[in-house]
Amino acid sequence: MGLITSREQTMLDGPVATAKSNHVRQPSTRNRTKPPMPDRDELEGRFIKVLASMDLPPDKAKLLRNYDLEKKWEIICDQDMVQAKDAPAHYLNKLRTYLDPKASRSHRKRKMVGDSTSTQVLRDLEISLRTNHIEWVREFLNEQNQGLDVLIDYLSFRLSMMRHEQRIALARSQSSDGINQGANTTTSDCSAPADANSTLNASWRRRARSQDAESE
């Protein structure tokens, strides 16, 4: 869905009546100078492109098409001021860098990623996909960027890494349990001869006492 400015949202919602009078409060104008309005044909052509980039529901788009030329020009100027902060390639290049095993040895690629984590890049990408106009999304998906393929590749890579880390943790846990069990078995084996010697010594002592009694 395209990004709608506060002015356009107010226009879509309609005029707002004040609570204490029957006067209608019109949308407030911005403190900036608009460029001169072009002729009708050029304005209508630009307005059609703006509507397409906003990706509005049909009923909302129909409502905007019924506006007069002045309001249409305000919407065009508002949309011209709404510029995407970063192009799709900004996020996709970072994801490709995370996928590259040699990236950590490349100064240029480390500089490209900066201090941002992959989680932050994914979060910023999600916000851009949700709030930028439809043309930004189309650029993300086009043949040159192949954004969907890059995103799927990265998520698959992260999933396989998580599973690998889980297998390593499980193997370490099982190895630790095996070492502990072996140590317990060794301790038991070492105590067995001592028990046997103790039993043998007790037997000899009883036999000696018996011989002493017979001698008496």
For 102-117, how does the pLDDT look when each residue is reduced to its tens digit (9 = 90+)?
A: 765 555 555 555 567 8
209 domain residue, yes or no: no
What's the CA dihedral at 166, 167, 170, 171 to 10 degrees? -150
Which of 55, 81, 107 corresponds to the end of one domain? Answer: 81
Give 190-199 pLDDT, tens digit per residue. 555 555 556 6
59 domain residue, yes or no: yes
- The crossing angle, in degrees rounded to 10, of helices 147-215 and 134-141 is 70
- pLDDT tops 50 at residue 22: no
Q: What is the mean pLDDT of the chain?
A: 74
Residue-number span of the structural domain to which 73 is assigned? 6-81
Q: Which helix (H) or strand (E) element contains residue 154?
A: helix 147-215
214 domain residue, yes or no: no
Note the pTM of the prediction, 2 decimals.
0.47
18 domain residue, yes or no: yes
Query: Any idea which residue has 């309609």 for tokens?
Result: 14
Identify the pLDDT of residue 111. Answer: 57
Cα distance between residue 216 and residue 208, in whole Å: 13
If asked whether residues 93 and 143 sit together in one domain, one would say yes
Taking residues 66-91, report their average pLDDT. 84
Counting the structural domains of the chain, the total is 2
If asked whether residues 55 and 94 sit together in one domain, one would say no
Task: Name the most confidently modeled range: 11-15, 51-55, 126-130.
Answer: 126-130
If asked whether residues 90 and 173 sit together in one domain, one would say yes
If asked whether residues 55 and 101 sit together in one domain, one would say no
If asked whether residues 76 and 158 sit together in one domain, one would say no
Identify the pLDDT of residue 215. Answer: 58
Cα distance between residue 132 and residue 94, in whole Å: 19
If asked whether residues 122 and 175 sit together in one domain, one would say yes
If asked whether residues 113 and 59 sit together in one domain, one would say no
207 domain residue, yes or no: no
DSSP code, position 23: P
If asked whether residues 76 and 95 sit together in one domain, one would say no
If asked whether residues 30 and 117 sit together in one domain, one would say no
176 domain residue, yes or no: yes
Residue bearing the bigger pLDDT, 39 or 9? 39
134 domain residue, yes or no: yes
Whether residue 5 contacts residue 82, with contact meaning beta carbons closer than 8 Å, is answered with yes
Give 127-174 pLDDT, tens digit per residue. 888 877 788 899 999 999 999 999 999 999 889 888 988 889 888 888
Cα distance between residue 76 and residue 81, in whole Å: 9
Which of 33, 49, 81 corresponds to the end of one domain? Answer: 81
Identify the pLDDT of residue 41. Answer: 92
Cα distance between residue 180 and residue 174, in whole Å: 10
Which of 25, 53, 81 corresponds to the end of one domain? Answer: 81
Identify the pLDDT of residue 79. Answer: 75
If asked whether residues 94 and 176 sit together in one domain, one would say yes
Residue 190 dihedral angles phi and psi, to the nearest 5°: -70, -30
Q: Which helix (H) or strand (E) element contains residue 93?
A: helix 88-99
Spell out a b/e string for 178-213, using b for 16 or more CB atoms within 10 Å of the CB, else e.
Answer: eeeeeeeeeeeeeeeeeeeeeeeeeeeeeeeeeeee
If asked whether residues 89 and 77 sit together in one domain, one would say no
204 domain residue, yes or no: no
Identify the pLDDT of residue 17. Answer: 35
If asked whether residues 101 and 130 sit together in one domain, one would say yes
